[in-house]
Structure 1
Amino acid sequence: MSRIASIVAPLFVPADRPERFVKAAGSGADAVILDLEDAVSPDRKEAARSALDAGFTDLPVIVRVNAAGTPWFEDDLAAVARLPIAAVMLPKADHAAPLARVAAVAPVIALVETVRGIADARAVASGGHVERLAFGSVDYAADLGCDHVRVALAAARAELVVASRLANLPQPLDGVTTDVADAAITQDDARHARALGFGGKLLIHPRQVPATRAGFMPGRDEIRWAERVLGSGDGAAAVDGAMVDEPVRIRARALLDRAERLSRLEQ
């Protein structure tokens, strides 16, 4: 599994705040996203580009550039092209041309955050330029004019999971939890995202990191169930009174793989 595919808890940091880079890397996150876009005011874009760095950590460093068509896009790409970053996160990823342009510079995480982006998610995912999808849920809600709540976002979330699977991409990254004070809310959101088929979640505060990892970590009962399933042999078998076959074993293997990866983050 690639480093981008295995990311579960990536943390955003404003790129014009380099004094926070090392702290972000030490938060327990498994990737750091240096943000040139929403977290940086227009008069600070140049300073943010100048502060970009990939040498402060061994974790994957991702840079979220400004969207194609903005006055800052080309300068952002020129800046990231000089750095050994893991990926570029492209916001407003709703058509192929900018994705191809960015993919020539670095691997691409496509941030889908518009109604058009959701409508075109399968084309974006299958176009050959994207390593992983991510959900910009707050921007999507603003574009659609809906509340940032689960029931309103359910269809969009489902489409990103399906689009990723059809394109044989890793499970997508879910959007942010805007409440940074209550870790229980973040953990519950992470559990909800995992249940829907997401593989991780975008984070905006260090205190959300442990909660997200806990939300995506399979519980002891799930791990024991998966071990029993994989110990049941081949073909059809009964485990805990339920019929088990290969699709169930695939799920069990994926569950144990996630548990192992998240356990390594604790070390």
Structure 2
Amino acid sequence: MSYSLAPAIVRAHSFLFVPANRPERVAKALASGADAVIVDLEDAVPLDAKGPARDQLAQVFSSLTAPERDRLLVRINAAGMPWHEDDLARVRELAAQGLAAVMVPKAESATALAHVAAAIGASCALVPLMESAAGLATLDALAASPQVVRLAFGNLDFQADLGLACGPDEAELVPVRLALVLASRRAALAAPIDGVTASTTDEAQIQMDAQRSRRAGFGAKLCIHPAQVAVVNAALAPTTAELDWARRVLAAYAQAGGGVFSLDDRMVDAPVVRLAQRVVDGAPDSP
């Protein structure tokens, strides 16, 4: 799997939100162990602080190193909101300086995504955040839009949009999560990013949610507190044993010159080789 646009975002397992109006938290977030950091101009910023938050974002961005910028996303305000176009203008400046990606909330329209892509320039990736019934209906179009590298699930907003009252395991959202995974696969995107766990202190719940994400085919999860990061990384990154198995499969496949072969007294064919490649691609240090 090879991606030229925002490779660190494509490989990331944990995405930690930071409010744009709290710039002192950005460096801490980048040092928290999170694979990627989302500086939020949307929900986390009060209405009367939107303009100053954009300026604070630009100021802190100028202090970041190139590798840190490679791990940074900005969540802008949604299309139709009064701050949207000003957000795009600021993000275009940051994209020219190495901003990796923009998270687009309330993603429901390929046309709106194309407008964002054109406004910010071709060097910056997009991560649409699906949060509504309308977004679910257009998943394939969103996934196929220019500069999109991953889809993300806004699970709490989605529940609110549909009036759902999900249980702790969110079993009601199984078909929605599957739809995100299927759309990502059809568009040849990296595995999607799952939504947040509302509790910041219940480690068992965070772990259960992150393990569910992996079982469901997600490759990453949104985090709202640094305490969630280590749990999410542990649940979603391949284990040492899994990586060892996958690398041995790929090495044996190369030695066999393709076709079906045996490893550890078990048959290995093309689907197993593809699974092994996906495991290696999911490692944090994958090229």
* TM-score for the superposition, normalised by structure 2: 0.85
Q: Which residue among 136, 139, 142 is the counterpart of 1:124?
A: 142
CA contact (8 A) 1:66 1:90 kept: yes
Query: What is the match of residue 51 of structure 1?
Result: 56
Aligned pairs (5 A) from 1:39-188 = 39-53=44-58, 54=61, 55-57=63-65, 58-59=67-68, 60-83=71-94, 84=97, 85-104=99-118, 105=120, 106-148=124-166, 149-188=169-208
> For residue 43 of structure 1, what is the amino acid of its counterpart?
D
**Shift of residue 52, structure 1, vs aligned partner:** 0.8
* TM-score for the superposition, normalised by structure 1: 0.91
**Shift of residue 238, structure 1, vs aligned partner:** 4.0
**Shift of residue 134, structure 1, vs aligned partner:** 0.6
Name stretches of at least 5 consecutive residues in structure 1 with no aligned partner: none
> For residue 91 of structure 2, what is the amino acid of its counterpart?
V
Query: What is the match of residue 193 of structure 1?
Result: 213
1:35 aligns with 2:32: no
Name stretches of at least 5 consecutive residues in structure 2 with no aligned partner: none
CA contact (8 A) 2:117 2:146 kept: no
**Shift of residue 203, structure 1, vs aligned partner:** 0.9
CA contact (8 A) 1:9 1:201 kept: yes
Query: What is the match of residue 208 of structure 1?
Result: 228
**Shift of residue 143, structure 1, vs aligned partner:** 0.7
User: Which range is displaced more, 215-224 or 11-20?
Assistant: 215-224
Query: What is the match of residue 229 of structure 1?
Result: 249
User: Which range is displaced more, 252-261 or 191-200?
Assistant: 252-261
Cα separation, 1, equivalents of 2:192 and 2:125: 15
Aligned pairs (5 A) from 1:239-258 = 239-240=263-264, 242-258=266-282
Number of residue equivalences: 263
Query: What is the match of residue 19 of structure 1?
Result: 24
CA contact (8 A) 1:174 1:201 kept: yes
User: Which range is displaced more, 26-35 or 187-196?
Assistant: 187-196
SS at match of 2:226: coil
**Shift of residue 260, structure 1, vs aligned partner:** 5.0
Amino-acid identity (%) = 47
> For residue 61 of structure 1, what is the amino acid of its counterpart?
L
Cα separation, 2, equivalents of 1:210 and 1:221: 19
